[in-house]
Amino acid sequence: MTAPTWLERGVLIVGGGIAGLTLAGALQRIGVNCQLAERSDTWAPVGAGIILGVNAMAVMRRFDLAHDLEDQAWALEGMTITDAKNRHLIRTNLAELRPRFGISLALHRAVLHEALLSAASDVPIRMGTTVDSLEETGESVRARFSDGSEDSFALVVGADGLHSQIRSLIFGDVPLRYSGYTCWRMVVESDEMEASAQEMWGRGKRFGAVHIDAQRIYCFAVVNAEAGRPDPAPGRLQRLRQQFSEFAGPVPSLLASLKEPDQLIQNDLYEVLHTPWYRGRVVLVGDAAHGMTPDMGQGAAMALEDIAVLIESLETTDSPADALGAWATRRTARVRWIQNQSRRIGQVGQWESRLACALRNQVTRATPAWAATRVLKALASQRV
């Protein structure tokens, strides 16, 4: 492709997470000049695992990245849901989706980061840099960087995550919606788990464990809690083990294999429900635009789809208004649907009442297996 003339001044990407790095690699592929500003001074170790569902992998194939990942990831056959005592409730059969939609992968986030970074290897990256102000000047946007320098761009993309500074610069203070629960993630060395992926539902808590390779298991532990509750390093492992002490199956041995408090990564889980997602020549993608709860494992998938559609919109339109308008029109309904589904799944998964949880588990146990893959099939069948 020849870059549309309006993009000749280049693109500034703010944030080098999954969305920002994917966009940098995709623009590099189609010959659009871009640069990326990342707040961190160095790439911090990316500690946890991630599931890339069938739709995320479809984007990876589009950008020729799937192959690199498949070699270093675990192909998911299914996800078993049990109660806290490890009694079977239902199983989502992902292998069944494979012939039509391809595979879902579970992998270490560091593997994904490396693949995205290497696909963007020619893009200049300004580490330790943020954007202090943005000013639209008709034909471009002038950005003032935190190091005092300034430059003009045809388009600025805010890929700076849930607490996006670019969002604040263009829309002011946007309140986030707190889910009511917090999550600890960890990767442990273990080959003791039977199922390749399992989520266990307790009362007001859930525990998930997913193989990311033959020796390592990515775990997440979700608990109802007020936002911002401190979790100091001394006693952190002990407190987590205590919170999940009634959980059976693989949980006791997985938690026992934790050695250091900093193996745990904690996030209070928020959503971003603001619209619109762009103003003039500045657009938000990924969590900056539509952060969601991780209950469907779709946040990164939605970020990846954002980029695939944005690239198509840039290629097929000849003004920022047309490109960003077309992009937002194609993305909004799908993203909101996933955000809503994810929130509902999380709310039911976090129920606390003994009666409600017993009923939930009974209904889930009685649900036919095909119903568990229904949403995923719908998700994969829709044109992105």
Q: What residues line the site for ligand FAD (CB under 6 A)?
A: 14-20, 37-40, 50-51, 56, 130, 159-161, 165, 183, 185, 220, 267, 269, 286-288, 294, 297-301, 303
3 vs 54 by CB, closer to ligand FAD: 54
Report d(CA 54, CA 32) in Å as an integer.
Answer: 28
Q: 10 Å Cβ neighbour count for 331?
A: 21
Output the six-digit token pair for 315. Answer: 């290629």
Output the six-digit token pair for 73. Answer: 């990831």
Q: What is the DSSP string of 155-187?
A: EEEE---TT-HHHHHHH---PPEEEEEEEEEEE
Ramachandran bin of 361, using left for φ above 0, alpha for ψ from -120 to 50, beta for the remaining angles: alpha
Q: Is the dihedral of CA 187, 44, 151, 21 positive or negative?
A: negative
251 vs 269 by CB, closer to ligand FAD: 269
267 vs 382 by CB, closer to ligand FAD: 267
Give every CB contact of residue 272 below 8 A, 6+ residues apart in sequence.
Answer: 162, 164, 167, 174, 176, 177, 287, 288, 289, 290, 291, 292
CB of 318 to ligand FAD, least distance (A): 27
CB of 378 to ligand FAD, least distance (A): 17
68 vs 322 by CB, closer to ligand FAD: 68
89 vs 289 by CB, closer to ligand FAD: 289
Cβ-proximal residue to ligand FAD, closest one: 17
131 vs 323 by CB, closer to ligand FAD: 131
As a whole number of Å, the end-to-end CA separation of the chain is 21
Output the six-digit token pair for 268. Answer: 């209070």
CB of 229 to ligand FAD, least distance (A): 16
CB of 349 to ligand FAD, least distance (A): 13
CB of 104 to ligand FAD, least distance (A): 10
Ramachandran bin of 31, using left for φ above 0, alpha for ψ from -120 to 50, beta for the remaining angles: left
CB of 367 to ligand FAD, least distance (A): 22
40 vs 245 by CB, closer to ligand FAD: 40
CB of 189 to ligand FAD, least distance (A): 20
Position 135, amino acid? E
Phi, psi values for residue 34, rounded to 5°: -150, 165
